[in-house]
Structure 1
């Protein structure tokens, strides 16, 4: 019995729904079962159950451990990609092959003829099959044959079309390369990736994803090396960059729509020894929750920081290295205080997220719109609160301090390793000590640590005391945890990140020390006596709470 009739007989759909589905998919290149699942009329597991009963084929749920890797070598990858099937194991004289479309006898016949071995089909969901294909054959392996259709659609917003005689440019706009780049982008988004690195080497073209702050090599087929120039050209076309310029760095960006949401990508291209290297920064606004508690701020730090950001004037600094979440924390702070009674202006490079009720401006150095020039103009717009993306030089620092001393609350960032050295950094720039002392209200230093994956979290008992850092104190009732590694966390043991904070609130004593130009170590000692909690100590607390590991805290904090 055909699948549609069987579904009607089982009462899963009506005949009218079947007729509508057949009519709607007649112009589409999708199977009836795919259409029914996509439109939500029938669940995939119900379709598999009906197929199993009708065709007397067992249902399996294979994972990577169930797949015979030696068997994969005997089956041509082109057939795997073409038909969405994957060999699982040997069974007597033949092999068991997982498929979600047992009615496609051509696929099984072609595979049987190709390997000259009897085939026993078993049923598995298309999602499981395509995950296995991706795992064993690499992201984008479909470009060599037929791309997998289950990954969802990716649409480029305002794509630029280019007419060119350059073969690389022509190939870059071919459907296969377009789909290959889309597949790499979609995989990065699915993995919660913040950056994608395309790196040309002498005998390789590497693709790496930065997930939770750590780079991982993407599983792409080695044949991608042949498409290196076409991939680079494709990304440059999307970013509206000069395709012919291969000697100078270029910056650009584009937008895509994926999984129902719009995502910005910032693109940087630089020339390297064996071609151009590209890094794409993914800015997924829907994936960021601009909330101080969600970022990991709690307890006394949250209470004190919230009090500081509600003060009428002064400077609030957030410090840390690139990629430590400074901008996100500042956005969360602004979101906490935004109201119709406050005029809030920001000058950023670039504007990463757009906030409701806040006036945001992006620097344009080529025409002279710098942080300092924008700040001077802001003061004539009657603001209450100003955010400066970064204090990079003496001019910006002096204008920001002047704004804070004339009744404005100013937020900004500095690149320093901890909270205390922010004051000495401003002094090193050339700012007068009395200006630093009178303007700074608080400094928040931060780092991002990976959190333990909840799916594979397990208790960890160190076998020797030397496995723990000497400054980490573990109480008799304290327990430590780690992630064993699983599919959900890509076998890293970590999933997600949260911030470690170190909040320095300026007291009268600390202000006096700054005026006297006392050293950072002296200021730190005094701040510790006043109750300053260091980032590393905050990290040890997260370890005791079972949220991260000592090794992760050590990775992001200094001794």
Structure 2
């Protein structure tokens, strides 16, 4: 762990995001709960995205912003909720040679190897920041309570989706059937808020389901989740 942290700090210094003086100051403030990188992030010297972008570049890995994407349900189903949470990864797309999966730490070779072994398939890795992956885990795999939490965090208001799944150990068949609906609703609300939409229009058509957001008084068609 210390070796990885030293490498991360060297990368951040090499690309000019932090100085030696800032690293030394952060070391003096360690409290046993955080590492130096955590302290630098907490102090606002660098962000999660800064760190993950820098590591991705060093690993010759593409960096993506998960919050700007709508991932199809068929892709999400490639990794179970339990495994996605366990490994802190998000399936992103079907690639040319395998499943495209977003990770937050390109240095965590054990997790990457374990996931590939578990899925019995080739993986094409991309990188995203830990906070974006955490948000995506709730967005695509979360319960109603978790979805409400993230929407409240984004919008700054109390939100009640009017649906509950309950504890994972006590999920009923009806609850499992509702889960995709809960995820879709939470996803639409988050995306609408991000787009600055005043309202959401859901329009079932003959051969597709159309989603439109009203932004600045104009209805704009969005990609259906």
TM-score, length-scaled by structure 2: 0.62
- Aligned-partner Cα distance in 1 for 2:66–2:89: 12
Deviation at 1:484, TM superposition (A): 4.4
- Aligned-partner Cα distance in 2 for 1:108–1:67: 21
Residue among 69, 93, 99 paired with 1:95: 99
Deviation string, structure 1 residues 158-183 (Cα, Å, up to 9, x no partner)? xxxxxxxxxxxxxxxxxxxxxxx8x6
The answer on 1:85 being equivalent to 2:89 is yes
Where structure 2 has 5 or more consecutive residues not aligned to the other structure, the ranges are 1-5, 172-191, 202-210, 218-225
Give the alignment of 1:205-354 within 5 angstroms.
209-210=159-160, 216-218=161-163, 221=165, 223-224=167-168, 226=170
User: Relative CO higher for 1 or 2, CA cutoff 8 Å, sep ≥ 6?
Assistant: 2
- Aligned-partner Cα distance in 2 for 1:454–1:110: 35
- Aligned-partner Cα distance in 1 for 2:194–2:8: 39
- Aligned-partner Cα distance in 2 for 1:117–1:42: 35
The answer on 1:10 being equivalent to 2:31 is no
Deviation at 1:129, TM superposition (A): 1.7
Structure 2 vs 1, CA of residues 184 and 60 (structure 1 numbering), >3 Å: closer, same or farther?
closer
1:109: which partner in 2? 113
- Aligned-partner Cα distance in 1 for 2:67–2:151: 21
Structure 2 vs 1, CA of residues 80 and 21 (structure 1 numbering), >3 Å: closer, same or farther?
farther
Deviation string, structure 1 residues 374-423 (Cα, Å, up to 9, x no partner)? xxxxxxxxxxxxxxxxxxxxxxxxxxxxxxxxxxxxxxxxxxxxxxxxxx
- Aligned-partner Cα distance in 2 for 1:136–1:453: 17
Deviation at 1:226, TM superposition (A): 2.7
Deviation at 1:492, TM superposition (A): 9.7
Deviation at 1:456, TM superposition (A): 4.5
- Aligned-partner Cα distance in 2 for 1:454–1:56: 30
TM-score, length-scaled by structure 1: 0.28
- Aligned-partner Cα distance in 2 for 1:113–1:19: 40
- How many residues are treated as equivalent by the alignment? 182
Deviation at 1:108, TM superposition (A): 0.9
2:93–2:99 contact (8 Å) kept in structure 1? yes
Structure 2 vs 1, CA of residues 83 and 225 (structure 1 numbering), >3 Å: closer, same or farther?
closer
Deviation at 1:24, TM superposition (A): 4.5
- Aligned-partner Cα distance in 1 for 2:41–2:25: 14
- Aligned-partner Cα distance in 2 for 1:189–1:6: 35
1:84–1:130 contact (8 Å) kept in structure 2? yes
Q: Which structure carries more strand by proportion? A: 1
- Aligned-partner Cα distance in 2 for 1:492–1:193: 23
2:134: which partner in 1? 130
Helix, strand or coil for the counterpart of 2:102? strand
2:185: which partner in 1? none
2:44: which partner in 1? 40
Structure 2 vs 1, CA of residues 493 and 224 (structure 1 numbering), >3 Å: closer, same or farther?
farther
2:221: which partner in 1? none
Residue among 41, 54, 58 paired with 1:54: 58
Helix, strand or coil for the counterpart of 1:122? strand
The answer on 1:483 being equivalent to 2:192 is no
Where structure 1 has 5 or more consecutive residues not aligned to the other structure, the ranges are 141-180, 195-208, 211-215, 228-451, 458-481, 486-490, 495-545, 547-559
- Aligned-partner Cα distance in 2 for 1:57–1:102: 8
